[in-house]
Structure 1
Amino acid sequence: MGTAAEILVVTGDNPERIRSETTLAELVGIAPVPAGPGMTGGRRRVGHGGHRRLNAVICRTVIVRMRFHQPTIDYVAHRTAEGRTKREIIRCLKRYVIREVHHLLRPARRRPSAAS
């Protein structure tokens, strides 16, 4: 219940201002940034800005999913076998949760009515 409430508080009564999943990720502070200068092998890290309370809520959601959600458990096992660290896996899962949240927040688009 607290998760949904926090998401609604952050997005406000105007979810249209969040035009893309990337915008929401930047607002929350989950958008990936390069890990360091120079050649980093494509590694990314999570930025330190954004709405920290919502970021904490998303992190708790990911931790619970890693424990109880079977598709997430399978994903973690697969990524661990690839050599990813737990921190990298959590970063990816946070972004996936943001994708799901953005999809749910997106206002229903009106379909053009058929000409009679």
Structure 2
Amino acid sequence: MEGMNFDGARLMWDVLQTLITALVAIYVWWTSRSRATTKAIDNVDTRVDQLDRDVRRLEQTLQNQPDYDDIERLRADLAENNRTLAKVSAELVGTTALLNRLHEYLLQERGGK
């Protein structure tokens, strides 16, 4: 038996090592890529959740604000209050005039005695 030729086996071993190294490199590249993609998706999910909370808060705020009908009712109530206040003011003017006449009368009656 002559000496065994290991050149072919060595070549096959080198090819196998190269293939394994290439497969490991592809695996590392794929997992790091998917990890980065997952992180980016998680960041987008977080931002979307925050926007959803903000939109819900704005919708709640808008639901609690008065609409045009409420404002018109308030204006009508204020107009009614202004009319009532004007009536009371007019009645007070008349009452004040009456009290002034009574006061003058009483002063004249006491002054005459």
Task: Choose between structure 1 and 2 for higher RCO, CA contacts under 8 A separated by at least 6 residues.
Answer: 1
- TM (norm. structure 1) is 0.23
Between Structure 1 and Structure 2, whose CA radius of gyration is higher?
Answer: 2
Task: Judging by fraction of residues, say which structure has more helix.
Answer: 2
Task: Judging by fraction of residues, say which structure has more strand.
Answer: 1
- TM (norm. structure 2) is 0.23
